A and B are shown apart, each in its own frame.
Chain A
């Protein structure tokens, strides 16, 4: 069945280093992917998205890479800051409509001082 999974449940990086959070998806028909950030005590917050006709998309300090060949999605955060500590979720969907979003289990990113 459809599923979105994560390679690692936790990730620790030093402040200032770059971090990479990975996500595997199983539905090759998915054409839209989103990364959400969830800080403690808050709801998930949209970070960046990418459509399947793209391989890379950059935002402010974040880059999402999509490898459709191996069905892999990654989120790169440059020069991590303490405020980046959170759980990061990838989500996938096919077509339009948020009701079709399938969320992964999440990766907890911890930034060490």
Chain B
């Protein structure tokens, strides 16, 4: 199993540009999570999906952030327009079943907005 796959691993962009982060969960996992990690705030849950349906997006910072999961093997997190304060590492994680507690994380996407 290749694990949770995220791309890009690193992205540097300028303020105002659109950023799209991608995630492929583990096959058979039907719950997917997007987290943001910063030194100041630690790991924050942004949104999670169950069976491709967004269940809770209360952690999404503002309307500039959006996430989609068009099928069971792909999800995107989009920031438009990006701002310097969005600089962080964004993790995707998946788990089997909505009641499962143990997450498997991807390697993360490090975003730097200049």
Contact = CB atoms under 8 A, between A and B. Distances in A.
Given A43-B93, A43-B107, A99-B48, A106 B102 contact: no
Contacts, number: 57
Interface size bracket, B side: 20 to 34
B82 interface: no
Interface of B: 4, 31, 33, 42-43, 45, 48, 55-56, 91, 93, 95, 98-108
Contacts of B55: 99
Contact of A43 (B31, B48, B108): B108
B105 A44 contact: yes
Interface of A: 32, 34, 41-46, 49, 89, 93, 96-99, 101, 103-106
A46 B101 CA distance: 11
